[in-house]
């Protein structure tokens, strides 16, 4: 069973490379947890593509159908559907709208007989290439308004919502019971995979092979995630010296002592303390913005130590590229504890302080430079000194 899955993955890489690159970021598991194929989110917030062996061999008897089912699951991730169902009152109606939206981006020969398509609504001329929100609202109208009483579209929706539909059952493993913090972690993992897959895809010069609507959507999602701050330049301005060095083998530099390869090369890393203001004035949505930027700093190779503080330090830990499930605090605001901690215990090369600026100017003098990242009008604005406007 593993070999056929592997072969389909290779076929996607060769013929539809974007989906092939994206698929490599997720585990593929043979499982009876689903009767078809489904995205699963486990207790550790890891994503996997679950494949029922009987469904794979019997229902998906053609390679095109196998590729279509895999693309269907990946498109749910690309469109961000995993965390959106909770915003809609009817889960099944959301599922119908979600499937209809993405199935329009899959070739007809790659869709199974029971896939939800525009043909199921042909007698009401449902327009193509609309958003999930648009289709969800139209479906509500079809179910409620008298003018749709005798249409095939209403009958199809009623049957789909009242009977067990295999395609909608695929959505039940999406982890809707996860906390908001866990859902942000899951979304971050999806976006990291999407970013890497897109970079590889662009290098292959096959961008024009994607449907235009999908290409625009991916670029918009990645653009929102991009940092507006040139962290490489900022960190270079911050400090020219680093207290943390390490050795690494390199085949490009021969050993000076023995003239052999691999030789050794000395690398330097900046030791950054990142402070997160966890006072009551900080909104939950702002923490996601904070950690998006922290991820970009981490990607520059800095050693990052995070401190969560309101009027006092509640928690500190080394950052490993993942957003925590929660932060501690929700009291007042004081910037002094973090600066004292950096001076006496952590001895950072620099401090980056994420805050909304609603606090008194610190009186403890820092021994290293501080970059204040202050939220203004839903954007993070960098200041190399505490702005007088916030006093």
Same domain for 246 and 183:
no
Same structural domain for residues 299 and 156? no
Determine the Cα angle at 213 with ends 210 and 215, to 5°.
50
pLDDT digits (tens, 9 = 90+) for 258-315: 555 565 555 566 789 999 999 988 888 788 888 888 888 888 778 899 999 999 999 9
Same domain flag for 108 and 203: yes
Question: Beta partners for 315?
Answer: 308
Residue 342 exposure: Cα atoms within 13 Å on the Cβ side: 29
Domain boundary among 224, 249, 284: 224
- 293: domain CATH number is 3.40.50
pLDDT digit string, tens, across residues 233-247:
676 666 554 455 545
One domain for residues 383 and 266: yes
- Which of 188, 209, 224 is the last residue in one of the domains? 224
So what's the pLDDT on residue 242?
Answer: 46
The pLDDT of residue 221 is above 80: yes
* pLDDT tops 70 at residue 250: no
* 202 and 249 co-located in one domain: no
At residue 95, the pLDDT reads 93
Q: What percent of the chain has pLDDT over 70?
A: 84
Q: What is the dihedral of CA 195, 196, 200, 206, to 10 degrees?
A: -30
The per-residue pLDDT for 390 is 57
Q: Which of 185, 201, 224 delimits the end of a domain?
A: 224
Determine what percent of the chain is predicted with pLDDT higher than 90: 46
Do 24 and 111 lie in a common domain? yes
Q: Does residue 243 share a domain with residue 204?
A: no
Compute the distance between CA of residue 11 and CA of residue 287 in angstroms, rounded to an integer. 40
Q: 260 with 325, same domain?
A: yes
**Does 224 or 276 have the greater pLDDT score?**
276
Per the CB < 8 A criterion, the answer to whether 40 and 82 are in contact is no
pLDDT reported for residue 241: 47
Instruction: Dump pLDDT digits (tens) for 47-104.
Output: 899 999 999 999 999 999 999 999 999 999 999 998 776 778 888 999 999 999 999 9
Q: Which domain holds residue 376?
A: 231-390
Do both 129 and 247 map to the same domain?
Answer: no
Residue found by looking up tokens 């994503």 in the block: 47
Q: Is 272:299 a contact under the CB 8 Å cutoff?
A: no
Distance (Å, whole) CA 251 – CA 264: 9
Same domain, yes or no: 104 and 251: no
pLDDT in tens, 328-379: 888 899 999 999 999 999 888 889 999 988 888 899 999 888 988 888 777 7
238 and 123 part of one domain: no
201 and 326 share one domain: no
- Report which of 381, 363, 359, 362 is spatially closest to residue 371, judged by C-alpha positions: 381
Q: How many domains does the chain have?
A: 2
Is 105 strand, coil or helix? coil
Q: Closest Cα to residue 380, out of 371, 388, 389?
A: 371
d(CA 384, CA 323): 25
Q: How far is the CA of 384 from the CAs of 115, 193, 348, 373, 387, in angstroms?
A: 55, 33, 16, 9, 9
Higher pLDDT, 275 or 173: 275
pLDDT tens digits for 110-144?
999 999 999 999 999 899 999 999 999 999 999 99
């Amino acid at each position: 069973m593993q070999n056929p899955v592997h072969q389909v993955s290779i076929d996607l890489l060769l013929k539809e490379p974007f989906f092939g690159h994206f698929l490599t970021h997720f585990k593929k598991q043979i499982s009876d947890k689903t009767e078809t194929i489904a995205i699963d989110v486990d207790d550790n917030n890891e994503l996997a593509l679950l494949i029922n062996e009987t469904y794979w061999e019997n229902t998906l008897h053609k390679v095109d159908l196998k590729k279509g089912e895999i693309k269907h699951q990946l498109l749910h991730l690309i469109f961000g559907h995993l965390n959106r169902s909770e915003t809609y009152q009817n889960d099944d109606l959301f599922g119908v709208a979600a499937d209809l939206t993405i199935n329009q981006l899959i070739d007809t020969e790659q869709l199974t007989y029971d896939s939800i398509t525009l043909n199921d609504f042909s007698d009401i001329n449902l327009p193509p290439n609309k958003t999930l929100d648009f289709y969800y609202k139209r479906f509500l109208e079809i179910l409620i308004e008298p003018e749709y009483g005798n249409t095939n579209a209403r009958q199809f929706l009623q049957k789909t919502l009242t009977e067990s539909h295999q395609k909608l059952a695929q959505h039940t493993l999406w982890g809707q019971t996860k906390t908001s913090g866990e859902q942000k972690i899951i979304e971050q993992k999806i976006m990291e995979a999407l970013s890497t897959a897109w970079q590889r895809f662009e290098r292959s010069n096959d961008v024009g092979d994607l449907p235009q609507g999908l290409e625009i959507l991916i670029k918009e999602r990645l653009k929102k995630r991009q940092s507006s701050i040139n962290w490489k330049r900022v960190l270079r301005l911050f400090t020219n010296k680093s207290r943390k060095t390490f050795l690494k083998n390199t085949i490009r530099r021969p050993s000076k002592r023995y003239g052999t390869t691999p030789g050794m090369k000395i690398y330097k890393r900046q030791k950054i303390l990142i402070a997160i203001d966890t006072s009551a004035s900080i909104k939950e949505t702002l923490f996601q913005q904070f950690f998006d930027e922290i991820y970009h700093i981490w990607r520059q190779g800095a050693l990052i130590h995070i401190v969560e503080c309101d009027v006092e330090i509640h928690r500190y830990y080394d950052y490993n590229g993942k957003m925590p499930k929660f932060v501690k605090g929700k009291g007042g605001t004081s910037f002094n504890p973090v600066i004292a901690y950096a001076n006496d215990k952590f001895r950072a090369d620099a401090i980056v302080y994420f805050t909304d600026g609603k606090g008194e100017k610190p009186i403890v003098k820092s021994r290293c430079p501080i970059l204040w990242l202050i939220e203004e009008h839903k954007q993070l604005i960098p200041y190399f000194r505490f702005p007088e406007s916030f006093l």
